[in-house]
Structure 1
Amino acid sequence: MGRAVVQIKGETDRRQIATWAANVPAGTTVEFRAPRRSTDQNALMWSSLLGQISKQVDWYGQKLTSEDWKDVLTASLRRARVVPGIDPGTFVPLGMRTSQMTKEELNMLIELIYAFGAEHNVKFRELELVA
C-alpha cells in the first residue's frame, strides 16, 4: 500500500486501520487529524460575518476587505507572531492560513468574529445554511 486516507465513520473503519497498521513495514508514517472545517462554517465566515464586518467597521481610519479581516481576526485567535517584512516599514503575521483549520478551530474563530462584531456594533444578517 502506497498511501491511504480513511475517514473514520465507525468500527469497520477502525478495524481496517488496525489491520493496515499491523501489516505495514517499520518506518511507515501514520497521521491522525481532526475533522476539517465544514463548508457551512466556511460559508458563514465568508458570506456573512467577514463581509458584514468589512462593510461596517472602520479600522484606524480605513476600510478593510473581508480577506484583511480574516487575517486580523485569525492573528488574534492564534496570537500570531509578527516579523518585519522584506520592504522597510512592512510587517508580516505568521501562520494565518485557515484552510487547514479543524472544525473546532474554525468554531473558535467564528466565535471571535461574533465577539469582535458585538464590540464594534456590527449588525450581522443571518445566513441560512442548508443542513
Structure 2
Amino acid sequence: MKQLFQLSHPVARRNAANAVMQAEDGHMVEIKPRTRSLDQNAMLHALFTEASKNATWQGRKLTPMQWKVLFISGHNIATGNGADMIPGLESEYVNIRESSAQMSIPRMTSLIEYINAWLANNVVAS
C-alpha cells in the first residue's frame, strides 16, 4: 500500500515516522519538495494556449505544446540552468528539457512569471 504524507505539522511528521517504522523490509522512502499544484498546472496550460492564439515565433504560429517546449527551454536558460542539446535518433537536435510535471512549486511559479513577462513584452494587445 502506497502512503503519502505532507510534512506540514508535527502530527503529519509523527504519522510519517510511524509508517516508516512499520514498513516491511524492502520498502522505500522518498522525501522531496512538493511538485506543482493543480492550479499552477491549469495556469501553465492556459498560458501555452494564449501564446498559441496571440503570438508567433520566427514568423510561425505554434501549438500550445510547441510553446511549452520553447518556454521551458527559455526559462531554463534565463535561470542559469543551461540547455542539454543532444543529437536525436534521426540526426536532428533535441533539447532534453526539464519536466514541468516534476517542478517544485517555487520553480513553477518562476516559469509562470517568465511566461507572463514574455507575453507582456511580445504580444501586442488588441
- Once the two structures are TM-superposed, the CA of residue 80 in structure 1 deviates from its matched residue by 2.4
Name which of 100, 103, 113 aligns with 1:101: 103
Name which of 57, 75, 78 aligns with 1:77: 75
- Once the two structures are TM-superposed, the CA of residue 18 in structure 1 deviates from its matched residue by 2.9
Please give the alpha-carbon distance, in whole angstroms, between the structure 1 residues aligned to 2:21 and 2:42: 40
Please give the alpha-carbon distance, in whole angstroms, between the structure 2 residues aligned to 1:121 and 1:22: 55
Question: Structure 1 length as normaliser, TM-score?
Answer: 0.76
Contact 1:85 1:91 in 2 (8 A): yes
Name which of 114, 117, 121 aligns with 1:115: 117
**2:62 maps to what in 1?**
64
Gaps of 5+ in 1: 124-131
Question: Structure 2 length as normaliser, TM-score?
Answer: 0.78
Gaps of 5+ in 2: 77-81
Give % identity: 30
Please give the alpha-carbon distance, in whole angstroms, between the structure 2 residues aligned to 1:27 and 1:57: 51
Contact 1:82 1:91 in 2 (8 A): yes
- Once the two structures are TM-superposed, the CA of residue 70 in structure 1 deviates from its matched residue by 0.8
Two-structure CA RMSD over aligned residues (Å): 2.3
Residues 11, 57 of structure 1: alpha-carbon distance in 2 compared, 3 angstrom cutoff: same
- Once the two structures are TM-superposed, the CA of residue 3 in structure 1 deviates from its matched residue by 4.7
Q: What is the aligned length?
A: 120
